[in-house]
Structure formats: C-alpha cells, structure tokens
Amino acid sequence: MTLLEGLLWLTLNVYHEGRSEPQIGQIAIAHVTLNRALEKHLPVKDVVKQPYQFSWTLQKQSYLPDDPDAFIKCMRSVFIALQSPDFTRGATHYHLESITPDWTSDYTYVAQYGSHKFYK
C-alpha cells in the first residue's frame, strides 16, 4: 500500500465516521484508526475495511464523499493527527455517546471528544 492510499483511507474513515464532529473529535477518530493499524500490524485500508469495525463500510453503497468541503476539513484533521501526539492515550475503539455497545465493559474509558466516547 502506498502512503497516498493510506492517507485516503484514513481520511475516508474520518469523513464517514465524524465529518460533523469538531476538529478534536476528527483527530481522535484518526488516532484510533492509526492505533488499530499499529496494534494489528495492518495497513490503514485493511483496518478500515475489516468487517464490523466501522459502521460506514457496511452501510455505504459508495465510499466516495458527497461533501467535498467536509472531506477537505477531514483531510486537514488527518494531517494534524499525523503530526501530533496521541491524546487519546492509545484508544482503539469509540462509539456515539447516545449508545452503549456491549463491548464497552471489555475496555477502559479514556475520554469524550465531540459526540464520541473513546476506549482502550
């Protein structure tokens, strides 16, 4: 996988998972995606496309962004994430604050950024 392909998939994940989030939430989503890739020793694309990991990959007919301005903002958040320390303290999972998935009891709560709660 090329560097550009990794950047594209990281940005697509931030876009589909958190385009309406504040920048801090988008950066946190990027860190989680990168943390999973590091933990599993997999390219970002493979981590994003793993079944049942990120809901948008199951729900979307097309991965193409339909809001170019939001996509560019997400790309900026990705570049910030790549240049900044991981303030999520190694988080590998998150969910919307409005739900409580069964898996949360298996992880340690880290913090909330935007409307997502983060865990490691």
The tens digit of pLDDT for each residue in 67-112 reads 999 999 999 999 999 999 999 999 999 999 999 999 999 999 999 9
Q: Which residues contact 89 (CB under 8 A, 6 or more apart)?
A: 110, 111, 120
Of residues 62 and 107, the one with the higher pLDDT is 107
Q: How would residue 2 be classed by pLDDT, with cut points 50, 70 and 90?
A: confident
Average pLDDT over residues 35-56: 94
The full length of the chain comes to 120
The one-letter code for the residue type at 92 is T
**Full-prediction pTM beyond 0.85?**
yes
pLDDT of residue 59: 79
Q: Which domains does the chain have, with CATH numbers?
A: 3-92 (1.10.10)
pLDDT of residue 101: 95
Q: Which residues contact 112 (CB under 8 A, 6 or more apart)?
A: 97, 118
Of residues 64 and 91, the one with the higher pLDDT is 91
